[in-house]
Amino acid sequence: MKELILEMEEYASEHNVPIIEKESITFIMKIIKANNIKNILEIGSAIGYSSILMASVAPDVTVTTIERDETRYMECLKNVKKCNFEQKITVVFQDALEVNLSNVSYDMIFIDAAKGQYTKFFEKFKYFLKDGGIIISDNLKFHGHVGKSSEIESKNLRGLVTKLEDYIVFLKENKEFETNFYDVGDGISVSVKKNEKK
Ligand code: SAH
Ligand code: MG
């Protein structure tokens, strides 16, 4: 397991795969443990690094993870097999915005895919979260660019960063969720779904 994790870190750096920072995944694993989270939906598998670590928190934690890039999806499947997590991790090869989820509800959703689509992911997948469930989003600082979009010259990058800035406002103003922001790794938010009034 430890060896596989190191292998994945090496693969990611060689192939420019943006896997989560150590500090951030450690933080998320603590949240999973502390809240007794059992089933997780992840948007953006890449090569399975974060899914495998999240699934390793306890024997009964399961993860469904979605990836639209075929090479990464194949690599993810390979890694899930290597650690014998086929029963714990389901990898879905599709664009998350096109996925049809059946009638499941998750304890936690981890958003870590295209940075320009975070609000869309949140709005789509919040219906699959239990009351009291948690939505975690990664890369809210986007390598220090967030909050400084007006200074960015590249139009593409500026567009992405502006969308992340809008997402942060969206989270702050969202009345269904209580969101806290953490200066961990590349910036993480934890949004807890409020219980519906009885
Ligand atoms: N969670 C991973 C890293 C994910 S990197 C880890 O920390 O180990 C982001 C991934 O999201 C990329 O592999 C990219 O192909 C994928 N992605 C981006 N937009 C997507 C979408 N709309 N649907 C599915 N996957 C998407
Ligand atoms: Mg990330």
Predicted local confidence at residue 129, as pLDDT: 97
Name the closest ligand to CA 141. 2
**CA–centroid distance, residue 85 to ligand 1 (Å):** 20
Check pLDDT > 90 for residue 44: yes
CA distance 192 to 89: 24
**CA–centroid distance, residue 100 to ligand 1 (Å):** 17
Check pLDDT > 70 for residue 14: yes
The two three-digit tokens of residue 42, written as one number: 């992840």
174 in ligand 1 pocket by Cβ < 6 Å?
Answer: no
Give Cβ neighbours of residue 66 (< 8 Å, ≥ 6 apart): 41, 42, 43, 44, 45, 92, 94, 96, 99, 113
Query: Which residue, 90, 100, 97, 98, is CA-closest to 41?
Result: 90
Q: For residue range 61-83, list pLDDT tens digits in order.
A: 999 999 999 999 999 999 999 99
Q: What is the mean pLDDT of the chain?
A: 96
**CA–centroid distance, residue 197 to ligand 2 (Å):** 34
Q: For residue range 98-144, list pLDDT tens digits in order.
A: 999 988 999 999 999 999 999 999 999 999 999 999 999 999 999 89
Predicted local confidence at residue 116, as pLDDT: 95
Check pLDDT > 70 for residue 56: yes
For the CA of 18, the closest atom of ligand 1 is 5
